[in-house]
Amino acid sequence: MVKGENRVAKRRGQKYEQIIEAAVKVIAQNGYHHSQVSKIAKEAGVADGTIYLYFKNKEDILVSLFQEKMGRFIQKIEDELAGETSIEEKLLLLISMHLQQLEDNHALAIVTQLELRQSNIELRNRINEVLKGYLKLIDTVILLGIKEGIFSEELDVRIARQMVFGTIDEVVTNWVMKEHRYSLVALAPSVHKMLLKALSK
Amino acid sequence: MVKGENRVAKRRGQKYEQIIEAAVKVIAQNGYHHSQVSKIAKEAGVADGTIYLYFKNKEDILVSLFQEKMGRFIQKIEDELAGETSIEEKLLLLISMHLQQLEDNHALAIVTQLELRQSNIELRNRINEVLKGYLKLIDTVILLGIKEGIFSEELDVRIARQMVFGTIDEVVTNWVMKEHRYSLVALAPSVHKMLLKALSK
Amino acid sequence: MVKGENRVAKRRGQKYEQIIEAAVKVIAQNGYHHSQVSKIAKEAGVADGTIYLYFKNKEDILVSLFQEKMGRFIQKIEDELAGETSIEEKLLLLISMHLQQLEDNHALAIVTQLELRQSNIELRNRINEVLKGYLKLIDTVILLGIKEGIFSEELDVRIARQMVFGTIDEVVTNWVMKEHRYSLVALAPSVHKMLLKALSK
Amino acid sequence: MVKGENRVAKRRGQKYEQIIEAAVKVIAQNGYHHSQVSKIAKEAGVADGTIYLYFKNKEDILVSLFQEKMGRFIQKIEDELAGETSIEEKLLLLISMHLQQLEDNHALAIVTQLELRQSNIELRNRINEVLKGYLKLIDTVILLGIKEGIFSEELDVRIARQMVFGTIDEVVTNWVMKEHRYSLVALAPSVHKMLLKALSK
DNA sequence: CATGAATGAGTTTTCATTCAT
DNA sequence: TATGAATGAAAACTCATTCAT
């Protein structure tokens, strides 16, 4: 049996939030490999053992962190998209909001673009599960575009989605690696223009 | 004394190659974090200590591995590109060869797309240095396309390059995560079509 | 990150004492180079990792050991000296107590006379810092003897101190190397007589 | 069977000398623990393997070094002592020459006073064997002094010898640790005066 | 609920020595 | 004699997790 497997973690509570915020801060500052549980606990103002009342294990902090942050991230984009009518606007909105949300939270950007990717394959798979929600959202936009006759019906939706996500993700990663020295969201129109052309008839 | 200060690693020799091939195999099979130096040595058929006659330390094996493999990878693509005349063909060739080379070497694909990314930031930076050669190659194609009047002169070359690389990279990573269950190079035309549209006037 | 930077070693506690006693015993029995941390931990009845809650690193065990033992060693001699009136008696007391304390603790004698001297220069310097307290004590006695007109005022105090310490130390080391086959403290009168003559007018 | 035990080392030859000189230099410069066989071989201008044609193992280099150097050291003192008539002069000569020879060879002084003492007990024992020749010489002087009625006949010769050697040794060690910042041989008269008083009737 | 002292498994790297040439 | 490439044993230290209080 894997350690801690049969522990029941509380999914809510003030400390739950504290610990997640502490994890983002500590990981962004110190890097994934120097972010010991004890450091996160200290930053969160709780004892080491308390972490394990709220999370099954260290990996669970990271997955939960990603779930919480990504959940809101997707929710916000979904909400905004609902209000837009044209497919072109929807695509621009998706790109802009993706870039905006990460530009608004440098620490989170470092964590999602660099640090969390240093995790092992198993954790990466669980992170990808969370990411699926976002990828579905992209699919929805692409499918709608095809349905509305704006995007090419010959598109391989899977490949198209990989292009959209791969492009935005690469743009963000480059921005993080360049230490946020320029405006990220300002790149949205340029990215949008290219992606729109790529997808259009 | 700084580690390895007075040791000179031999950059060539049969064992040098053996160790690198062993590293690719072991890492692809066991994952980065379960690939102890002793495992690599055993696979290479040399003693643990022999590793350190050829590499400064464990990280150096990984960087060297990437340098060796990526060096040839870029060289091959560069050579082929020189023979092509049309810009469309050049772009297709670049995509196809990128996909082909990784499809031809599943173990290497696993290592470059998943395992090497688990390394720490410092190693990642050294890997990025090596990658620059490939990114420059992409830039060359884009700039040539613009010059020849085929690609839009309004392109932000940096963003365009991030789209090209980000898309292909994402396509490969998805293929690896799906455990190579479909032909990767078969996706080249689809990817090419979209990227071409994205870049064109 | 510098080793041990953010770790705070507890300088007190029952386990702190246990570990130091275990270190003396293990080093005396097995020799410095065969006294692995794990062996000391086992002897102390704690886990390997526990050592590092109380000591920064292995070297720190040795320095602490010497500080603790030497601290008491010096204190005892200091206390006794205060009670003596004649300078001759003071010198005899210093010699006797030095010999007695080491004869009373064979393991400690082995560690201080032989094993700790195998340490590297850096550690030796830290040990010498601790030793300074004892050397100052010797100086005090010599200076008092001069002041009282019993010791020659032409004495070079530094050389005189080196003679006193060098002689006693050599006597103890020989006793340890001869595996404690004779009474050490019984040599005190003989040593005292010679040193007294050497220092006197 | 201990490694290398049944090898026959050549005790002479130009390279034998080269290696010993190289060892003194390397150990004095780098310290005992950073003086790898390969470093000594390089300094001596021979291959690593060649060392083992002249010495049984690394320890044997050190013992041989000590034997060679100490042998000459003792011989010189012995020769000079033979020429002196008075016991006082003999003692002064012994002290002066001891100090002089080490002052003349700083590297050797570092090696004998500090570095070689970091070796393990076994090696220390072999070194002590070599030292015996010197200790016997001291004994001879003391016994002669007693016989001539100058030194007290109540002297415990063993203790007296430990005082003479312990004092001189401590004086040298302090000089080495103070990085030879003062003249060592200049201390001879002061040391001589004290030792003479200590031994005399 | 919360604490934090204690646990102990796990891995890179060095370097004395060998031996085929 | 001489070489130097290859060997492989050996040990300090970290940190996620537990559990008695």
One digit per residue, the tens of pLDDT, for chain C of length 201 reads 233 344 566 667 899 999 999 999 999 999 988 999 999 999 999 999 999 999 999 999 999 999 999 999 999 999 999 987 899 999 999 999 999 999 999 999 999 999 988 877 778 888 999 999 999 999 999 999 999 999 999 999 999 999 999 999 999 999 999 999 999 999 999 999 999 999 998
The pLDDT tens digits of the residues spanning A32-75 come to 889 999 999 999 999 999 999 999 999 999 999 999 999 999 99
pLDDT at C120: 79
Q: Which residues contact B158 (CB under 8 A, 6 or more apart)?
A: A174
Residue of D nearest to C157 (CA): D190
Euclidean distance between CA atoms C115 and A168, whole angstroms: 63
Domains along chain C with CATH numbers: 8-56 (1.10.10.60), 62-199 (1.10.357.10)
What is the rounded average pLDDT for all residues in chain A? 92
Higher-confidence residue: A116 or D93?
D93
Residues of chain B (4-63) having a beta carbon less than 7 angstroms from strand F:
13, 15, 46-50, 52-53
Confidence of residue D1 (pLDDT cuts 50, 70, 90): very low
Q: Strand E positions with any atom < 7 Å from protein CB?
A: 1-20
> What are the chain D neighbours of C177 within 8 Å (beta carbons)?
125, 128
Q: For chain C, list the contacting chains (3+ Cβ pairs, <8 Å).
A: D
Q: Which residues, in sequence order, are bridge partners of residue B151?
A: B200
Average pLDDT rounded to a whole number, residues D142-154: 96
C166 lies within 8 A of chain D by CB: yes
Closest CA to B116 of B176, B162, B156: B176
Confidence of residue D10 (pLDDT cuts 50, 70, 90): low
- pLDDT > 70? residue D11: no
pLDDT at A121: 78
> Percent of chain B scored above 90 by pLDDT?
82
pLDDT at C85: 80
Higher-confidence residue: B2 or D155?
D155
pLDDT at D119: 79
A127 lies within 8 A of chain B by CB: no
* Closest-approach nucleotide to residue A12, Cα vs C1': E1
pLDDT at B33: 87
Confidence of residue B3 (pLDDT cuts 50, 70, 90): very low
Q: Strand F positions with any atom < 7 Å from protein CB?
A: 1-20
Average pLDDT rounded to a whole number, residues B146-159: 96
Closest CA to D49 of D60, D59, D38: D38
Structure-token match 């884009």, residue found: B142
- pLDDT > 80? residue D70: yes
Q: Which residues, in sequence order, are bridge partners of residue A200?
A: A151
Distances (CA, A) of D84 to A170, D78, D148: 89, 10, 14
Whether residues C120 and D162 touch (CB distance < 8 A) is answered with no
Confidence of residue B8 (pLDDT cuts 50, 70, 90): low
- pLDDT > 60? residue B2: no
Chain C 93-122, CB below 8 Å of chain D: which residues?
114-115, 117-121
Euclidean distance between CA atoms A21 and A16, whole angstroms: 9
Distance from the B32 Cα atom to the nearest Cα atom in chain A, whole angstroms? 8
**What does residue B200 show for φ and ψ, rounded to 5 degrees?**
-70, 165
pLDDT at A1: 29
Backbone conformation region of residue D166, classed left if phi is above 0, alpha if psi is from -120 to 50, else beta: alpha
pLDDT at A2: 35
Higher-confidence residue: A13 or C149?
C149
Distance from the D155 Cα atom to the nearest Cα atom in chain C, whole angstroms? 8
pLDDT at A11: 63
Residue of C nearest to D32 (CA): C120
3-state SS of C72-118 is: HHHHHHHHHHHHCCCHHHHHHHHHHHHHHHHHCCHHHHHHHHHHHHH
* Closest-approach nucleotide to residue A16, Cα vs C1': E1
Whether residues B197 and A198 touch (CB distance < 8 A) is answered with yes
> What are the chain A neighbours of B117 within 8 Å (beta carbons)?
117-118
**What does residue A178 show for φ and ψ, rounded to 5 degrees?**
-85, 15
Q: Which of B118, B162, B166 sits opposite A118 (nearest CB)?
A: B118
Higher-confidence residue: B41 or A116?
B41
Distance from the D12 Cα atom to the nearest Cα atom in chain C, whole angstroms? 30
Whether residues D159 and C194 touch (CB distance < 8 A) is answered with yes
Q: How many CA atoms lie within 13 A of B30 on its CB side?
A: 16
pLDDT at D85: 80
Q: Which residues contact D148 (CB under 8 A, 6 or more apart)?
A: D87
Q: Token pair for residue B101?
A: 């080379």
D194 lies within 8 A of chain C by CB: yes
Q: For chain A, list the contacting chains (3+ Cβ pairs, <8 Å).
A: B
Interface test with B, best of A132, A159, A183 (most B CBs within 10 A): A159
3-state SS of B43-66 is: HHCCCHHHHHHHCCCHHHHHHHHH
